[in-house]
Amino acid sequence: MLKIENLAVNYAGIKALRGVSLHVEPGELVALIGSNGSGKTSLLRAISGIVEPSEGNILIDGKRINDIPSHKRVALGLAHCPEARHVFAQQTIEDNLHLGAYLRYGKESKHQIQETLEEVYTIFPKLRERSKQQAGTLSGGEQQMLAIGRALMLKPKILMLDEPSMGLAPVIINEVFNVIEKLRQSKTTTILLVEQLAFMALKVADRGYVLEQGLVRIEGKAADLKGNPVVQEAYLGLAKK
Ligand code: ATP
């Protein structure tokens, strides 16, 4: 469904990505782990069209999308939840969710959009409870849920989540990852998850890639990565015996 071939991204001389290849198949949850500055966010930004790669191909369903502008990639079904979440603080939670479906208005019936809203409220009951409240009044964890819910309103082909744990307390991180796990089990959403908390990411993922200094160092099934001594030592905090 999503294929990245030999992707390179440079920022004024800094090589953030140096030839990354990966793929995400329909219904999969693929985790991208790596330490600070390894290039994870740059990869998502390149896929979304926020930064332009200097080399390589980005393909969706076999079609190269490098030359398609960012807003049109959303119409292809690419939803990106950035680290910063960007909820519209002055708008209600329900209005934020409707904004996520803006590309579907005019193409689909109000009933279909309402159905998705109901699905999102079923996944996130707290958002239903507070639907008329301003989004700015939500806690960080709730805003993360809202950002994911808003992206789901698009009915995306691929949901890209950038560090959903960022700035959240451990108990809230667990709640967010429980939801991500539910989405994976439903097999209706294909997810590319960027996460520094490798143990959380590998717990919910089908497969994973470890990025180091802009390159894929290790890839494999999540269960195999969890058992890999290099991953254990560098990313899971388990010292060598
Ligand atoms: P983190 O987990 O800290 O967000 P990351 O793995 O997402 O890190 P990136 O944010 O993609 O990594 O950064 C990769 C490299 O590119 C780093 O060296 C970073 O300093 C650099 N970089 C990122 N954005 C820019 C930018 N806009 N201008 C210049 N350098 C940048």
Phi, psi of 208 (to 5 degrees): -150, 160
Condensed to tens digits (0 to 9), the pLDDT of residues 57-103 reads 999 999 999 999 998 999 899 999 887 778 899 999 999 999 999 88
Condensed to tens digits (0 to 9), the pLDDT of residues 95-128 reads 999 999 988 888 889 999 999 999 999 999 999 9
Per-residue pLDDT, averaged over 170-194, amounts to 91
For ligand 1, atom 3, the nearest C-alpha belongs to 36
106 CB less than 6 Å from ligand 1? no
As a whole-number percent, the residues of the chain with pLDDT over 90 amount to 74
Q: Reply yes or no on whether the pLDDT at 239 is more than 70.
A: no
37 CB less than 6 Å from ligand 1? yes
Q: How much is the pTM?
A: 0.92
pLDDT value, residue 238: 66
pLDDT value, residue 241: 55
* Alpha carbon of 237 to ligand 1 centroid (Å): 23
pLDDT value, residue 131: 95
As a whole-number percent, the residues of the chain with pLDDT over 70 amount to 98
* Alpha carbon of 149 to ligand 1 centroid (Å): 26
Q: Reply yes or no on whether the pLDDT at 214 is more than 90.
A: yes
13 CB less than 6 Å from ligand 1? no
Where along the chain do its domains lie? Answer: 2-87+158-234
pLDDT value, residue 59: 96
Mutate to test the pocket of ligand 1, among 14, 20, 160 (most ligand atoms within 8 A of CB): 14
107 CB less than 6 Å from ligand 1? no
* Alpha carbon of 39 to ligand 1 centroid (Å): 6
The topology under which CATH files domain 2-87+158-234 is: Rossmann fold (3.40.50)
165 CB less than 6 Å from ligand 1? no
* Rounded distance between C-alpha atoms, residue 67 and residue 40, angstroms: 21
* Alpha carbon of 43 to ligand 1 centroid (Å): 10
* Alpha carbon of 135 to ligand 1 centroid (Å): 28
Q: Choose the most confident range, by mean pLDDT, from 4-8, 35-39, 186-190.
A: 4-8
82 CB less than 6 Å from ligand 1? no
HEC secondary structure over the chain = CEEEEEEEEEECCEEEEEEEEEEECCCCEEEEECCCCCCHHHHHHHHHCCCCCCEEEEEECCEECCCCCHHHHHHCCEEEECCCCCCCCCCEHHHHHHHHCHHHECCECHHHHHHHHHHHHHHCHHHHHCCCCEHHHCCHHHHHHHHHHHHHCCCCCEEEEECCCCCCCHHHHHHHHHHHHHHHHHCCCEEEEECCCHHHHHHHCCEEEEEECCEEEEEEEHHHHHHCHHHHHHHCCCCCC
Confidence grade of residue 240 (pLDDT, cut at 50, 70, 90): low
Mutate to test the pocket of ligand 1, among 11, 33, 235 (most ligand atoms within 8 A of CB): 11
45 CB less than 6 Å from ligand 1? no
